[in-house]
Chains A and B, each alone.
Chain A
Amino acid sequence: MRPDQERRNTVEAAASLRSRPLRIGIGGPVGSGKTALVASLCREMSAAVSLGVVTNDIYTTEDADFLTRAGVLQPNRIVAVETGCCPHTAIRDDIVANLDALAMLEGSHPDLQLELVESGGDNLTATFSRGLVDLQIFVVDVAGGDKVPRKGGPGVTTSDLLVINKVDLAQMVGADLGVMERDAKQLRGPLPVVMCSLVDDPGAAAVREWVERQLCLDHRTDRELP
Chain B
Amino acid sequence: MSSLSGFGGAIPHHRPASMTALALLADSRFPSGGHAHSGSAEEAVSQGWITGVADLERFLLLRMSTSGAVAAGLAAAAAIWAGATGATGATGATGATEEHDPIDRMAACRVPGWLDCEADARMAAPASRAASRTQGRLLLHTARRVWPRSRALEVLDRGAFGVPSTPSSPVRPDGGATGAGALGAGGRLSRSAPHHSLVLGAAAAAAGSDGHGAAVAALYGAVGAAATAALRLLGLDPMAVTSCLAALCTEIDAAAAAAVASATMAIERSDGSILPSHGSIELDLASQRHARKEMKLFAS
Give the interface of A toward B (CB within 8 A): 58-61, 76, 79-86, 89-90, 93-97, 99-108
Contact = CB atoms under 8 A, between A and B. Distances in A.
A76 to B, nearest CB: 7
Contacts of A97: 33, 36, 138, 170
A82 B298 CA distance: 7
B71 to A, nearest CB: 19
A104 B181 contact: yes
Given A84-B35, A84-B229, A93 B29 contact: yes
B142 to A, nearest CB: 6
B37 interface: yes
B36 A80 contact: no
Contacts of A96: 31-33, 138-139, 141-142
Interface in B265-300: 294-299
B294 to A, nearest CB: 8
Contacts of B142: 96
Interface residues of B, number: 35
Nearest to B28: A94
A84 B31 contact: no
Contacts of B31: 93-96
A103 B299 contact: no
A101 B298 contact: no
27 contacts: A58-B297, A59-B294, A59-B297, A60-B296, A80-B170, A81-B170, A82-B171, A84-B298, A85-B229, A85-B297, A86-B232, A89-B35, A90-B36, A93-B29, A94-B29, A94-B33, A95-B31, A96-B139, A96-B141, A96-B142, A100-B138, A100-B141, A102-B181, A103-B183, A106-B182, A107-B181, A107-B188
A76 B142 CA distance: 26
A82 B295 CA distance: 11
A86 B233 CA distance: 11
Nearest to B188: A107
A59 B183 contact: no
Contacts of A100: 33, 137-138, 141, 170, 180-181, 183
Interface in B149-165: none
Contact of A99 (B38, B139, B141): B141
Interface string B210-243: 0000000000000000000100110000000000
B35 A86 contact: yes
Nearest to A96: B138
B167 interface: yes
Nearest to A106: B182
Nearest to A100: B181
B32 A94 contact: yes
B169 interface: yes
A89 B138 CA distance: 14
Interface string B157-198: 000000000011111000000001111000011010000000
Given A101-B170, A103-B189, A84 B297 contact: yes
A101 B33 CA distance: 12
A188 B92 CA distance: 46
Contacts of B191: 104
Given A59-B297, A85-B233, A108 B33 contact: no
A60 B35 CA distance: 14
Contact of A103 (B29, B38, B181, B232): B181
A107 B190 CA distance: 9
A156 to B, nearest CB: 25
B189 A107 contact: yes
A59 B33 contact: no
Contacts of B169: 61, 79-80
B78 to A, nearest CB: 19
- Which 4 pairs of residues, A with B, have the shortest CB-CB distance? A107-B189, A103-B181, A84-B36, A103-B182
